[in-house]
Chains A and B, each alone.
Chain A
Amino acid sequence: MMILSYLLILLMIIGALAAVLFENLLNSIISLGLISLIAAALMFILKAPDVAMTEAIIGAGLTTSIFIFTLIKINRGDSQ
């Protein structure tokens, strides 16, 4: 389980770097969702299922979609 945690943390750092370094904002938002999903998995490993559920639903699901909708609005405003 310890090795799995370290692998997940490594993936999380890569996701965080990707979120900053991507030129395309959509890719950055998806990286942020990936970070939240891995954080949820780590919280589940740390035996905190309540927090893991909140993080998975709110962090990976709702926040990502709200960011994407905002991005759609911004792009539409540019084209007009």
Chain B
Amino acid sequence: MRFRDYLSLFLVIILGFIIFQAFDGTIDNGLNIKQFGEVNLSERTSIHYINKDVNNESTQIIYNESKNPESGSANYVTSIIANYRALDTLGEITVLFIAAAGLAFVLGDHNKNNAFASDASFIVKIGVKILFPLLFLLGIYIIIHGHLTPGGGFQGGAVIATAILLKFLAYKDYKLNHTGLTILESFAGISFLIIGLIGLYTDGSFLTNFLANGTIGTLFSAGVIPIIYILIGIKVGAELSGIISNLINA
């Protein structure tokens, strides 16, 4: 072993110790990742997101009863992603868009053949025929219930892209309609911005939740959050499908 190998081993051991002590708490600085339920939440910033009192409007949140809380999403990860920090999400989908656009710029020749020389076997084809609608439905479910259950636009869009990937794996002549994908993607992106601008016009800040929040925990609640998440789902699904299609047909 050369000196370089020893140095990298030493660095890996130090990094491993740092990660281990973050969980184990050998050096207790109050910021360790603790077991579920052992954290004193009142010391953390996240308590404001959980109780939905970021603007100091302290109300008690009761599932299925509270009406019009500060952010109407029952899943508070979603209320951070699509409401409190929606500008970050806009940046994230812009990054994904630029990645997809760059890939399409380099590899976007749709006249070439698939990566595979022949169709997959009979069993794979029948399996994909059964799995494809189920996976697509699961993706749509995850997107629509993003403000109630774990998951949301990004995860559901990725599930839909995975379903499209299965189609590509099974049939060598499968082609996506890239014009349709572009229209879907542009529609979702522009609608996201328009929703943000409507918030700016009515309530004075970009991407404000300008609709009524409704009862927390019901499907039609949380104002613009489900709409934003459905648009993100369409955008992410179309972009990831385009990336897969460009890679396979390159």
Contacts and interface: CB of A to CB of B under 8 A. Distances in A.
Given A46-B36, A57-B159, A69 B115 contact: yes
A27 interface: no
A54 B154 contact: yes
Nearest to A58: B158
B243 A66 contact: yes
B165 interface: yes
A66 B150 contact: no
> B interface, by DSSP: helix, strand, loop or mixed?
helix
A60 B244 CA distance: 15
A62 B162 contact: yes
B104 to A, nearest CB: 14
Interface residues of A, number: 18
B228 interface: no
A7 to B, nearest CB: 15
Interface residues on B, range: 20 to 34
B158 A73 contact: no
Nearest to A47: B36
Contacts of B33: 46
A78 interface: no
B200 interface: no
Nearest to A61: B162
Contact of B115 (A61, A62, A73): A73
Interface in A29-80: 46-47, 49-50, 52-54, 57-58, 61-62, 65-66, 69-70, 72-73, 76
A66 B247 contact: yes
A38 to B, nearest CB: 15
A8 B33 CA distance: 18
B158 A69 contact: no
A65 B150 contact: no
Given A47-B36, A66-B247, A73-B115, A57 B165 contact: no
Given A50-B77, A73-B250, A62 B151 contact: no
Interface in B85-129: 115
B36 A62 contact: no
Contacts of A69: 115, 244, 247-248
B79 to A, nearest CB: 12
5 contacts: A50-B150, A54-B155, A54-B158, A69-B115, A76-B115
Interface of A: 46-47, 49-50, 52-54, 57-58, 61-62, 65-66, 69-70, 72-73, 76
Interface of B: 33, 36, 75, 77, 115, 142, 150-152, 154-155, 158-159, 161-162, 165, 240, 243-244, 247-248, 250
Given A50-B75, A66-B247, 20 more contacts: A46-B36, A49-B151, A50-B150, A53-B150, A53-B151, A53-B155, A58-B158, A61-B158, A62-B165, A62-B240, A62-B244, A65-B165, A66-B243, A66-B244, A69-B247, A69-B248, A72-B115, A73-B115, A73-B247, A76-B115
